[in-house]
Structure 1
């Protein structure tokens, strides 16, 4: 019995690269896609793809060259919102847009691939598709980093200067000194939060949009931040963080003593939050209080 086959043709251009990396990273980076297109050789443009229930055959029409890939031998096949990614290894891939298929062919392709989808895909604990470093998030980062340190300032002032009271012989001057010290300490205390708020606003205003919007994916041993405006990826292992703190608002991931990322509790489902916390508890740099 002859095997059922689906055949499509596609042309590699800027739109192809734009769609391909949007499928892989969820980012529409026109500049990056244009650079990839400019660097693509002319003999790597026109392709025909043939699918059946066991393999993918790619025919390069420019070079008259055929490559055959059995689904079971591919590193990974991933279905995305706009198509399929066929990974030869963990870096190199072919992308096929859903728009390349007719409606009835989409069902056939899914039947061909359903047994192979997700192979070698790492376990994702959670994903935040629209992480925004807005003023409130920056404020709470500063708050959790600086508030406890700042609140100690008026206490230090009281501890350091109140003993001077006993050295002043004039009781009225001594009492005035005490009142002044207490009022000064109170003024510092009540200026901490407005000061942090002002710093947060200033940092937000002076931060390029490139750094404000991300897609964040949490894995067992690391989290990945993918910039939403341009192709840019930061991979950070939990073990490499200075500290991971569980705070009232969520989880504070400290890169160092003055730089951090805050992930709110509501960024996760209850189940994701529990799995993430259980996973983080195995690290020595995790603090629950």
Structure 2
């Protein structure tokens, strides 16, 4: 596969959107976190902030604000991961401002506290307004429990956070929720997706449907594997060795984690069963229908 083209550190993507790379490249971050300035006026919304302790990002953000003669109105965080929320305190400290920081509240554990400002916890369908731009929140869990996307109404653009990435697939925390979130993006029907990592997605319908098709294909493979071995309860790694033919062994652990997410979803769908959460069998109902 050809290497992805390098993204500029700073790029105006449209009349209303400027992308600033988070200067934090990594295996799961591609060239880094995409952060976005949104609006057309003198004060704009910043979507996500990258990691903490990245002075290069603060320098890039300052350069962007100076180049376009604008300032920050507020900060919006798509989810709690440190490469999205981590830069909040550094930004507030660098600019000497206690910016409003909005996100959806985590339920399983408390949100990581901020030192320089406070969270404003918002709900699904919340709307942010700034000059030239209206951003509508759509709760979009699966990657994380608190994840949301933003719909830029004026241009029919979706900021997808980490639900959809530009150039790779994403890590999933809850596959059942994630699949619904993919369909929710399809239902919005955006013309373009600006992802949390990677390149701009100009064919969003095809891309999101591709994500769905891939997951559905893997689900059918797992069900077929369990049916073929219906007399033996199987662990995720047992399934990996049958389904992930040709995949390098050093990737088998990640594949097993992926299979486990599928099994948990299929359990909720009443298609598989497990007495201990470790070994799995196809449900009697599914066995008779396959």
Q: What's the TM-score, normalizing by structure 1? A: 0.27
RCO greater where, 1 or 2, for CA within 8 Å and sep 6 or more? 1
